[in-house]
Amino acid sequence: MYDIARTVSRVANETYSHSRRIMPQQPWWEHLESSFHKFPDDFELDLRTEVTVQATAFGDLLLRTAGAGMLNALALPSSFQPLQLKRDAGTRAYYQRKANQADADAFFKRPNSSKVTMHSSSAGPMRFRPKDGSCRLLSFDSPFRTVNPKIRDAYPRQKRNMRAVAQHWRHEDGPRPTLAVIHGFMADPYWMNRMFFALPWFYKQGYDILLYTLPHHGKRQSRSSPFSGHGFFANGTAHINESFAHAVHDFRIFMDYLESEGVTKVGVTGISLGGYTSALLASVEERLQFAIPNVPVVSLADLVLEWFPLNLSIKGMLKATGTSVRDIRHELAVHSALTYQPKLPRERLMVIAGAGDRLAPPKHARLLWDHWDRPRIHWFPGNHLVHLDKGKYLKEMASFMREIEFNRM
């Protein structure tokens, strides 16, 4: 049993103010309180640490408001068109039935990689340049077909999105155990994630690295997209559901490729939207050696209800269409880690979260931690982007990976 109090980095020896479990009984979308987005995110801290946490939280609130305003202006209008709302209403029951099954294999079908051709090319001028290995860009034409047949023709029209890409760092004497990293929303640049996760340091520890690009991001975004990731949330709820199915599908093809190259161990971590996806992968892909979601979200419906001014538009849409928060939760639950039991044992799961995070509030990490039967968790005293004492949790990640013998092939 891991003591949450001793894993709060510089918040060490303090006590998280909510010791009770907040994960409700299943189905979680019915029993989680409709006011969950209003739940406080408090810690019991000394004055100095409290000031640090609140200062970083204030920074997140400013960033969140700016981001919510951008989404409200550039992504929601297309999702809230009457015809799009009608389409989503017509497909809602389909995804709700899939969520009711609580069977990850029923929604996330294992892809057939036998006819996929993997291409290797230059990773560009800003690539990592290891002295004892290579850095290359892997890509393939994704054979993904939407789970719901009703939108099977519409989804692939964003043709750039159907080309899966990932940056791969490999030792000359490989293959080695591979750390797969999934970026956050709008945060896909490889150089950014290389720096944030100190990936050259992990590479020097002996690991190969795979930097996976989510659908609708980076090279996968449409040329008309105003920002990377726009396409993830600009075309209604059914499109969101299928985008997560697509993310899992293409990630598994990259895993198949690594296995064909002799890699026997792959673990995954991800931040924010990548944290959401890495937690989902722990519910889908039993071949993973570990999953470490970082500042994860677990309920998109509840998250956006906190994001002013986006929440005003969402609430207006719900009222106008006679849709409840539980209805939307239920529809989006098909890709939430809370809906499924993890396929990895508890000792191979870890959660990292920020006490001052207000983009992915701590209560989301707590839900996931409860749902996973409280595995190892590390709280740091920063916000969504400013991870104070980050060096401590990176070292704890490395220690965790050694403990589960991820360093051995």
Which tops the pLDDT comparison, 285 or 59? Answer: 285
Q: Using one digit for the tens of pLDDT, what is the confidence trace for 64-119?
A: 999 989 988 888 888 888 888 899 899 999 999 999 999 999 999 999 999 999 99
We report the CATH number of the domain holding residue 115 as 3.40.50.1820
For the chain, the average pLDDT equals: 91
Residue 374, domain member (yes or no): yes
Residue 321, domain member (yes or no): yes
- Contact between residue 367 and residue 22 where contact means Cβ atoms under 8 Å apart: yes
- Contact between residue 354 and residue 120 where contact means Cβ atoms under 8 Å apart: no
Q: What is the enclosing helix (H) or strand (E) of 54?
A: helix 47-74
Residue 199, domain member (yes or no): yes
Residue 30, domain member (yes or no): no
What is the domain extent for residue 105?
4-16+41-403
For residue 9, pLDDT over 50 is answered with: no
Q: What is the mean pLDDT of residues 332-350?
A: 98
Q: Please give the tally of structural domains in the chain.
A: 1
pLDDT score at 92: 96
Residue 314, domain member (yes or no): yes
* Predicted TM-score of the model (pTM): 0.94
Q: Is 333 exposed, middle or buried (0-12, 13-18, 19+ CB in 10 A)?
A: buried
Residue 93, domain member (yes or no): yes
Residue 28, domain member (yes or no): no
Among 108-112, 136-140, 305-309, where is mean pLDDT lowest?
A: 305-309
Cα distances from 223 to residues 128, 215, 271, 362, 409, in angstroms, run 26, 14, 25, 35, 41
Among 45-59, 81-95, 338-352, where is mean pLDDT lowest?
A: 45-59
Q: What percent of the chain has pLDDT over 90?
A: 77
- DSSP category for residue 112: -
- Contact between residue 194 and residue 200 where contact means Cβ atoms under 8 Å apart: yes
Residue 200, domain member (yes or no): yes
CA-CA distance, 30 to 406, in Å (whole number)?
Answer: 38
pLDDT score at 408: 73
CA-CA distance, 370 to 331, in Å (whole number)?
Answer: 22
CA-CA distance, 147 to 108, in Å (whole number)?
Answer: 8
User: Is 214 in a helix, a strand, or coil?
Assistant: coil
